[in-house]
Structure 1
């Protein structure tokens, strides 16, 4: 019998992560592309309300569609206002040396902020409680320098309660 056996009678814990139970992997996030007819500064005026089958058993189809409907309602109003200011800015661009484009750029930023605020409200209201997270993310188009915004619904990882402290 060794001195270490008397002091620490428990067997050592395994240090390799393979011996611990495996936690299920987090599925890939769901990306909703814009399907509207108008895109200004990368933000489309409508997103698809089709219910992804990956969400079966996680969130009700009505709740998902209500969230996307709220986002679409914000975008429909704001993008129509942005189009008016963009056209006005383009007509006056030569006379004002480009300063007239400022309101359209500021309105586009305000639109993104309104969409992000609505998404954060929806996250707090429902989606964080069921392990999901909405966000608005900028994504590049196919092999070009153009970028557009997509709605991303991520699955939040579960807390590993089986690992020792």
Structure 2
């Protein structure tokens, strides 16, 4: 009786279905436009994170999202940065002053605070995505990119276009 029961064929069929789904998703992603990059425009940068992001509406988002919604989202992110970055700068200055005496350990608080700031922005962007942008087939995320002018790294907001799922395709 055990010879009749064979799980291998059943799993192979599932793997083939997953491969087909993955191939279809890659095909959809191929035709998606390039993501929109929103760069930091502030005058202070701590560990790659600028103190504010550009709030000018990108032309690539015309017809996808209202300029008011875009500006409100950027203002929420900038508000989060406005609350947390001045504290990070103070800790950075104190850490640099004491760096020689503490063998660099005085920089740990600013590293931890910077990581916490990034996480709070990522959570805010997740909330924005679930509230509005996923419904509009957009996905906002914080991404580390190389600066255009030098070899330094900076954090930018990437607005990716999600592919529309074909609803007429059979399950």
Give the structure 2 partner of residue 37 of structure 1. 43
Larger radius of gyration: 1
Give the structure 2 partner of residue 100 of structure 1. 106
What is the number of residues matched between the two proteins? 144
1:149 aligns with 2:155: yes
Shift of the alpha carbon at 1:29?
0.7
- CA-based RMSD: 1.9
Matches of 2:164 and 2:62, distance apart in 1: 18
Shift of the alpha carbon at 1:163?
4.6
1:52-89 alpha-carbon deviations (Å, 9 max, x no partner): 12222211111100000000011122111100000011
Matches of 2:53 and 2:44, distance apart in 1: 11
TM-score, normalization by structure 1: 0.81
Unaligned runs of 5+ in 1: 1-21
TM-score, normalization by structure 2: 0.78
Alignment partner of 1:158: what SS? coil
Moved over 6 A (4+): none
Give the structure 2 partner of residue 136 of structure 1. 142
Equivalent positions of 1:2-21 (< 5 A) are none
1:82 aligns with 2:82: no
Shift of the alpha carbon at 1:160?
2.8
Give the structure with the higher percent helix. 2
Unaligned runs of 5+ in 2: 1-26
